[in-house]
């Protein structure tokens, strides 16, 4: 049911420091960077770093608090079937499966509260799939 590990997303309060570490210290290839996001690698599994500095309080007030830590993003086949199986096993959902522009998307939580994104892409290329934009839980 799982197709591949698509992205590992790290949330940081200091994006410049994080970019420096991954690019300069580790030597990872920086694909792109904006004021709040940096993406490493152009193919295969991506490492995406997203700044939560200043956003956590705003999102918390809106009822969509960004969780600190990490999100692991998988592309999957048959997301509905997979989510039904996961529900039967008692897996916690942060975001129930729902239609998005790129296909279907859900977010589950591991036992420690780390987020795991599940995306079934329909007709979308990898470049069209905005994993970060899909994180919102409502």
- pLDDT above 80 for 43: yes
| Residues, the chain | 138
**What are the structure tokens assigned to 75, written together?**
């592309």
- 10 Å CB burial of residue 121 (0-12, 13-18, 19+) is buried
The pLDDT value recorded for residue 81 is 95
| Model confidence pTM above 0.75 | no
Least confident of 37-51, 70-84, 110-124: 110-124
User: Could you tell me if 6 and 73 are in contact, meaning their C-beta atoms sit under 8 angstroms apart?
Assistant: yes
Q: What is the CATH number of domain 2-128?
A: 3.10.180.10
Average pLDDT, the chain: 82
Domain coordinates in residue numbering, the chain:
2-128
**Average pLDDT of span 22-46:** 93
Q: How many CB atoms lie within 10 A of CB 27?
A: 7
Q: Which of the pair, 113 or 90, is modelled with greater confidence?
A: 90
User: Could you tell me if 78 and 119 are in contact, meaning their C-beta atoms sit under 8 angstroms apart?
Assistant: no
58: Cα separation from own chain's centroid: 19
For residue range 55-108, what is the model confidence (pLDDT) as tens digits? 545 554 444 555 568 889 999 999 999 999 999 999 999 999 999 988 999 999
The pLDDT value recorded for residue 63 is 46
**30-33 and 37-40 beta bridge pairing:** antiparallel
List phi, psi (to 5°) of 40: -110, 145
Whole-Å CA distances, 85 to 49, 63, 82: 30, 28, 5
Q: Which of the pair, 114 or 127, is modelled with greater confidence?
A: 114
Tell me the percentage of the chain whose pLDDT exceeds 70: 78
The pLDDT value recorded for residue 68 is 62
Strand, coil or helix: 44: coil
The HSE-up count of residue 71 (CA atoms within 13 Å, CB side) is: 27
């Amino acid at each position: 049911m799982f197709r591949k590990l698509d992205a590992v997303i790290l949330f940081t309060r200091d994006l410049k420091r994080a970019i420096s570490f991954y690019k300069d210290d580790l030597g990872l290839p920086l694909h792109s960077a904006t004021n709040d996001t940096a993406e490493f690698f152009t193919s295969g599994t991506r490492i995406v770093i997203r700044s939560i500095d200043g956003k956590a309080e705003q999102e918390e007030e809106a009822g969509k608090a960004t969780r600190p830590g990490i999100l692991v993003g998988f592309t999957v086949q048959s997301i509905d079937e997979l989510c039904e199986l996961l529900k039967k096993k008692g897996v916690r959902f942060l975001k129930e499966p729902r239609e998005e522009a790129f296909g279907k998307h859900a977010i589950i939580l591991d036992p420690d509260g780390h987020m795991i994104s599940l995306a079934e892409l329909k007709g979308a290329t990898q470049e069209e799939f905005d994993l970060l934009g899909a994180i919102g839980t409502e």
